[in-house]
Amino acid sequence: MNHDVSKQRRRLLQASLTAAAAATLPPLRAAATAPPFDAIVARTPQPGARTFASVGEAIAAAPMEGRAPFRILVTRGRWHEKLVVDRPNIHLVGEDRSGSVLTFDAAAGMKRPDGEPWGTWGCASVTVRAPDFRAQRLAIENAFDYVGNLATPKFEPIGPNGAQAVALMLDAGADRCEFDDVDLSGHQDTLFADAGRSLFRSCRISGSVDFVFGGGNALFEDCELHSRFRPGKERQGYVAVPCTPARQPHGLTFLRCRLSRDALIPDASVALGRAWRPGRTFADGKYGDPDAVGAAAYLSCWMDAHIDPKGWDAMGYTARDGKRVMLEPELARLFEHDSRGPGAHQSPTRRQIDPTQLAMYTRERVLAGWMPEA
């Protein structure tokens, strides 16, 4: 009897040691069963693949018409580069989610090398303009000092203030883009999902003003949407700000996400979002695009008490006659279903998805037939 118990204890001990050893393996080992990397970004040469000193150089080494994934391992480090992905099938895989960081610090009001301002459409740390991009287990940030700029503005305003500082932009040409276990960090305009279909799984997106925005079709599954503190601001921020084209059924769709906050953010000080009508140039002038009828939906999301009970805010735009008017939430497609937590409220201003329309929010329907691998 004692002998059997002793053997059982040895087996349990061995099993626990094996599990502990597996848990301490670096993330690079976990990817060993995946296809080999085509390139490695590292400070020193690495065995097994071509080594590049920058992420930009590794992307430039990929085929212009790549039909197979070009897999790039990004080792631990802060890679200060302004990146444009203009080749299809680029896959960026970080060695460590918090340690492999793609970073830049351009804001809309800052000047480009040619002396002109970057603008919102040009300031992103990473811009994707090609299909089938994938990022996994890394961080993308815009490190612009937003809070410092609130106290001491450093440039001429572009739009409302010039402090728009995009971390990631999905631009024209992007489609079928996947993000798994990725941290996106900024303040104003962190994620600009403006084109194509994209899927974000188990990601963390942090910011304050309009920090998930654009006209693309983006699905967020099991993500954290974290609101950051803005000193001296009564309205601390806005989460989802879509400018979805009227013909497009879906815009920004959040499924089983968690809306969290910095400790200093007061209750009821952050809006679920607002609909954006960006200015476009037409034959008869420049004014808010009437075709932009923003679509955003929160489904089975948990919300902390920083979310305002009224839910959504209006947003100003320039009308065709040149007057400044407000786009009210009820004129856009802004909805919820099964919201939970202290920030979830039932009120006339927080419209619920009709139960008969819930079938429209399956992954296959939202992503218009694109079915990413699990």
The residues annotated with a catalytic role in the active site are 189, 210
Maximum C-alpha span of the chain: 92
- In this structure, the strands spanning 315-318 and 324-327 are antiparallel
Residue 115 backbone phi and psi in degrees, to 5: 95, -10
